[in-house]
Amino acid sequence: MRPRNVGFIVLGLLVPALAAQAFGAPKNPADYPLRVHIYRTHWSTGTEGPYIYEFYNAGYHGYGRANLTDGPQTNAMEYTFECDTHFLKSDNGETYLARWKKPGYSIEMLVGVIGSDKIKSCQLKVTLKDTVYHKVNGEIISLTQEQYKAREADGLAREAAVTDVDADVSHYPMKLTLLSLDWSGRVNGMHHGSGQGNLIAGSQVSAVDMALACPTTIHTTAEGRFYHARWIKQGSEMSILLHQAGDPGVAATCNVKASLHSDVYVLESAGVLKAVSQDKYKSLQTAETPEQKAPVPE
């Protein structure tokens, strides 16, 4: 009887110890500086070990793909795990908090318990890659670091272009005509293209080659019409003001990298864009009759 009683005493001490080990002390999120975005996770349940440990070893194991952000650096990673809880894919920009257990090889990730305010931790074995994962039309693709940073920059640029926009036309003193435009594609909500036109600053007219990044596609300007513009970086980068058709209160901006020239662009009758000298341009303007000139909007 005595050995059996001792056995029960040992078991009674062991169970709370195992429970403390399984559930752990409260976690401080400030101690988990890594961010993990789960793109794909596969898991299943299983038990192992002798009966006395079965409750604690019964759990989940699996594998998947994710992005790991450590400070300014983000890398794709593949992972495996064995935990007493499981976790779900990240929605939108949601991430899990984590910290390194063995830098470059394993992390401890915090996982909330559904239906509870408890937080558990799960250790993941990881393999980092030089690329970054991204989801397009439901498919996970790999981006180079340069492509990923360009997408991040486009996301920030779009946010700036459509949020809290200065829509006061008087703050955009220049006029930009767009005579030729070619859109190359859309990345993370920003449309990229190239174009040519003329920049009118006071009485000065200059030909300009440009690279555009806009939250929406825009069009070439008809004769006598223009976009309001202002310099962001004098002589090299400007912002043009866009108003939603029929609602001047809804505004956005378009970023333009500009290269100015001393001549002026004109569209010939066949629709061919041609650069002419300032003197030639002035003579063409003088030769037009009042009936040929289109009114310029204020």
pLDDT one-digit tens code per residue, 265-279:
999 887 899 999 999
Confidence of residue 59 (pLDDT cuts 50, 70, 90): confident
Q: What is the pLDDT of residue 217?
A: 92
Pairwise pLDDT comparison (257 vs 54), residue with the higher score: 257
**6 CB burial (10 A radius; 0-12, 13-18, 19+):** exposed
Q: Is the pTM of this model over 0.85?
A: no
Each domain of the chain, given as residue ranges in start order, spans: 2-136, 165-287
Q: What is the pLDDT of residue 249?
A: 61
Q: Which residue has the tokens 């991040």?
A: 152
Confidence of residue 136 (pLDDT cuts 50, 70, 90): confident
**Which tokens go with 269?**
């009758």
Give the angle 74-191-221 at the CA atoms, nearest 5°: 160
Mean pLDDT for the stretch of residues 123-144: 94
Nearest to residue 256, comparing CAs of 223, 273, 231? 231
Instruction: Give percent above pLDDT 70 in the chain.
Output: 81
Alpha carbon distance 259, 237 (integer Å): 9
Cross-strand bridge partners of residue 189: none
Q: What is the dihedral of CA 248, 253, 258, 262, to 10 degrees?
A: 20
Res. 7: pLDDT tops 70:
no
Alpha carbon distance 158, 216 (integer Å): 10
Alpha carbon distance 232, 157 (integer Å): 14
Confidence of residue 14 (pLDDT cuts 50, 70, 90): very low
Nearest to residue 196, comparing CAs of 110, 291, 274, 82? 274
Taking every pair of Cα atoms in the chain, the longest distance, rounded to a whole number of angstroms, is: 119
